[in-house]
């Protein structure tokens, strides 16, 4: 059965790349009802969320060409933020902004998937 695509409030499959358990817990709490998976999942993702400090932004962008990508890192990691922008991530935010606006960011990036 193919992964259900998100449009306006439906369940999204969100692939977490390099995301630690603490951040995953915050995302799951902020966005209940979405399916958060890791790279061992067989589901095609509707959105990729990547911790820029723990992964290579270029490699993530090359691997998930047709999927919106949300990257985050510490606000002091200006090199990482620039690298994610240069790699073509759809949205790049500081970790604190991800915590504050996770539901809004995920809704915006998955609204056009379908």
pTM for the complete prediction?
A: 0.87
Could you tell me which of 112, 7, 103 has the C-alpha nearest to residue 49? Answer: 103
Interval 26-65: pLDDT, tens:
999 999 989 999 887 777 899 999 999 999 999 999 999 9
Residue 25 has pLDDT above 80, yes or no: yes
Residue 8 has pLDDT above 80, yes or no: no
Q: What mean pLDDT is reported for the chain?
A: 88
55 bridge partner residues: none
Interval 72-102: pLDDT, tens:
999 999 999 999 999 999 999 999 999 899 9
Angle of helix 21-30 versus helix 95-110 axis, rounded to 10: 50
């Amino acid at each position: 059965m193919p992964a259900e695509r998100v449009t306006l409030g439906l369940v999204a499959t969100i692939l977490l790349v390099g995301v630690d358990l603490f951040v995953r817990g915050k995302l799951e709490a902020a966005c209940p009802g979405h399916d958060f998976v890791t790279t061992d999942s067989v589901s095609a993702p509707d959105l990729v969320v990547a911790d820029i400090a723990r992964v290579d932004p270029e490699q993530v962008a090359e691997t998930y060409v047709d999927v919106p990508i949300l990257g985050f890192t510490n606000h002091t990691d200006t090199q990482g933020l620039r690298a994610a922008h240069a790699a073509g991530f759809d949205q790049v935010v500081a970790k604190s902004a991800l915590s504050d606006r996770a539901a809004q960011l995920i809704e915006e990036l998955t609204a056009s998937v379908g």
